[in-house]
Structure 1
C-alpha cells in the first residue's frame, strides 16, 4: 500500500470512529434524559394525580366535568405506576429482566393511557362545545350517570385499540444476545406489515383524528363564547385548552418521528430523536396536575396561606363551586384577620 493510500485509509477510519463516538455520546445523553424524565414522571405524576383524584373525586360536589378529570387522572396514575418497570430496567439492567407477561403488560398500559387520554380530551372538548351552543339540551341530558357510561366506553375502546400491543409485543434476543422487550419480531423474512399497521393506527387514532375533532370543537366553542358572551364558561375552557395543548406538545414529536421511522427505519437521527421524544411522552402524565396547581393559585390573595387542597379545589371546581370556594376562603381570611387573638393557627 502506498503512503498516500495509507494516509487516506487512516483519515477515513479516524473519521468513522469519531462519528461512531458522537453517536454513542448522543445515545448516552438521551438515555440519561429519559431516566430524568421517567423519575419526574413517577414522582410528580403519582403524587399529583393522586391529589387530583382525591380532590375531584371526594372533596368536590360530583359534576360531569369532575368525572372526566378523575378518569383522566386515573389513566395517568396507572401509567406512572407502570413506568417503574421501565425506570428499573434503565437504571440497573441493559436488558429486559421481567419476563414476557410484564413486557406485554407494560406496553399495553402505555398505549391504553395514550388512547384513553386523547379520547377523554376529545369527549371533554365536545362536551364543552355542546354546553356553550346548546345549554338547554345539555342541562337535561348532561348527567353524571351519562358521563360515567361515556367514560366506561372510552376505557373499553382504548383497551381494544391497545390489545394488539399485548398480542404482538414480545421478548427476544438482540444482536448482543441480550433480551429486549419490543414490537420487533426479528423474523428472518423481514415482514413488518403488522408493525407498520400498528404505527399507522397509533398515529391516526391516537393523534390525527382526535386532534382534528378537538380543533373543530374549540373553534366552535370560541365562536359560541363570542356570540353568546358566556364569559363564565371561559375559566374551565382555559383549563381544558391547556390540557389539550400539553398533550399534543408532548406527543406530536413522537408521532412525527414515528412517521419518519416508517419511511426510513435505519436513520440514526430518527432513532436518537425517537428516544428523546419517548421520554417527553412519559412526562405528559404528570403535566396535568401541575397545570391544575398553577391555574388554581389565587394571585390576589396571600400565596403563603393557600393549602394544597384549596388550590386544587379552586382549579377543578365548576364556575359556581369555584366562586363559592373563593368567597368561603375570603370569608375565613377576613375573619381570621379581624380576630383579636395575637397568634395565628396555620392549617
Structure 2
C-alpha cells in the first residue's frame, strides 16, 4: 500500500462545527493485490473524522505493520475509508465489475438522483435558486436554514415550495441551529408545505430532543448526530426518520452499507452525501448510493465546491442525476493516471 498527500483549494470557505475550511487536505491511496491496483482516498474533516495528522499516522501504521491482514483496518474513519475503498476497487477490477455491483446484494442502480442545495440567501434568492435547480432537472432540492430569523426562514420555505411546484421533493437543513420551540414551529411549517424532511434541527448531542420531534408530519434527518454518536446510538434512541450517511465519516463503502442495512431494518431511510471529498471518494460514494435498494436523491453534487481536483470527474451531474460509471472498479480507465506511482 502506498499513499501520497494532496491539498485542494475550495471556491469559497466551507463552514463547519470547527470553523471555516478553505482547503481539503487528504491522501490518495494505492493498494496492489495480485497485480491489480485499487484506488482509495482519505480526506479527513475534523468534527466528522480524525485530524489529518491522525489520519496519516493510521495510514502509516497500517502500511507498515498490518497491510497483510485485510481484517485489521484502522479505527480512524477517514484512514479506514481510504483503505477499504482501495481494496474494494481492486476486488471489482479483478472481477471486471463496477464497484457498485460487488457492493450490492442485488441489482445496482445505473443512475443516482441528486438533490440540489440552496444556500441561506434572502427569500427572493431562495426562490430564484430553487427555480433554477428545478429547471436544471433536479427533482429534489435542499434548502439551508437556521442562519436567519425563524420568520424569515418560514417565508423562505414557502418561497421554495412556490418556486418548486408540487412535484419536487423539498428538504431543509438547519445544521443544528435551532432550539426546541423554534424547531417545533419550523417543522410544522415544513410539514404544511409537504417537505420530505428537516435535517439536524437541534444540536448534535440532543438525540432525545430529535426523537420527540418525530411524528409532526415531516421527517427528521440526522447528520452531525450520526458523526457524534454513531449509528447504533442514533437508531437505539429512535431519533431519526432518515440517516445522512457520509462514507468518509463512517469508515468506508462497506461500513456505510452496513449502517444502511441496519437502518432499513428499523424503517429508517438513508441518503448518501460527502464531506466535500476529492473525485476518487466522491465517485466511490456514487457507487455506494447505487448499491442501495430504491436509492433516494443523494447529496453528492459537491465537486463544484473544489477549485481543483485530482482528476476530471467521470461521473458528472446531468439533469439532476449522476450516471454510475460502468467500467471495472470505481471508474474503469478514467483514473489510470492516478493508479501509477508518481
Check whether TM > 0.5.
Answer: no
TM band (smaller chain): under 0.3
Normalised by the length of structure 1, the TM-score is: 0.23
Choose between structure 1 and 2: higher strand proportion: 2
Return the TM-score normalized by structure 2: 0.23
The structure, 1 or 2, with the larger RCO (C-alpha pairs under 8 Å, 6+ apart) is 1
Larger radius of gyration: 1
- The structure where helix makes up a greater share of residues is 1
